[in-house]
Amino acid sequence: MRVVKKQKLNGSDVRRLITEAIAASTLDLPLANTKLSQAWDACLRGNLKVPKLLRVIRCKKCGVLLMPARTASVRLIEGRAIWRCGSCGAEKHFRYA
């Protein structure tokens, strides 16, 4: 049996995966989720800083892509944006303004 060594990805690969995930989200949501988890794994394995965009668009609990009005609902309350995941119900709070 051939052993396949996993290739280490760098920061530009992570950005590319995030861009591809967003592009794929309109047509193929499972593919978008796969690319998002690949980007997340690359950050953890390569000890890279997780880009802010990835922290915002990925659900912390179940790992799916959060797209406002499609896979997440967004409410604006008292200077905070509250993103609620459509598949697990987890919430994220962001300050704005």
Which ranges of 1-97 would DSSP assign to H, the alpha helix? Answer: 11-24, 29-45, 52-57
Residue number with CB closer to Zn ion (10 or 88): 88
Report whether 18 contacts 39 (CB < 8 A). Answer: yes
Residue number with CB closer to Zn ion (23 or 62): 62
Number of residues written out for the chain: 97
Query: C-beta of 80: minimal distance to Zn ion in Å?
Result: 19
At 32, is the secondary structure helix, strand, or coil? Answer: helix
**Residue 24, token pair as written in the block:** 């794929």
Where does this chain bind Zn ion (CB under 5 A)? 59, 61-62, 85, 88, 90
Query: C-beta of 47: minimal distance to Zn ion in Å?
Result: 25
Residue number with CB closer to Zn ion (9 or 33): 33
Query: C-beta of 87: minimal distance to Zn ion in Å?
Result: 5
